[in-house]
Amino acid sequence: MENILIGIAIGLAPMLVILIVQYSKYKVKEKEHAKEIGRLKGMLSDRMDLESEGLNKLKQENEELKKQNENLRISLNTYSQKPGRKEIARLQVYQKAVDRLTINSPGFGAAWQAALKESEDEFEKTYIGVQPFIRRLIPLKNSEANVVKLVEDDTD
């Protein structure tokens, strides 16, 4: 029986040594894993902080752009309602219509150019000479237009 006990003791001793070595290796790996998990958690929290800051900046920028867009829309509506804007738009429509007529209608171009030249000369006269002075002093009406024409004829 003694031999059996000696055999068991000889078998248990290396097993105990191996068990202690394996346990110490396990504890070292457990500490390494805990350290790695802590490092990964830190990286994850840093990344989440950065992404949340970036998302907040994007939301603020989006809000600012929405405000600018609304301000620009209001400004555009305001400018479009200023005096003269509708007239300018109407003149552009007329210009397109005249261009189409000039291209599509033979003979219209020459008559149009003559009428345009006369209109430009008349318009230019409204800024030079006595006529603008008289128009500022005397508001023009249909009956008064004849008086202005008489005065113009006298100055020419």
- Domain positions in the chain are 2-82
* Angstrom distance (rounded) from CA 98 to CA 101: 5
Residues of the chain with pLDDT under 70: 83, 85, 123, 126-156
For residue range 113-153, what is the model confidence (pLDDT) as tens digits?
Answer: 777 777 777 767 766 666 666 665 665 554 445 544 554 55
Any idea how long the chain is? 156
Burial 31-48 (b: 16+ CB within 10 A, else e): eeeeeeeeeeeeeeeeee
How crowded is residue 26: how many other Cβ atoms within 10 Å of its Cβ? 10
pLDDT at 140: 53
Whole-number pLDDT of residue 98: 78
The token duo for 127 is 């800024």
CA distance 92 to 140: 27
The Cα 126–Cα 134 span in angstroms is 10
What tokens does 32 get? 């390494």
Q: How far apart are CA 95 and CA 87, in angstroms?
A: 12
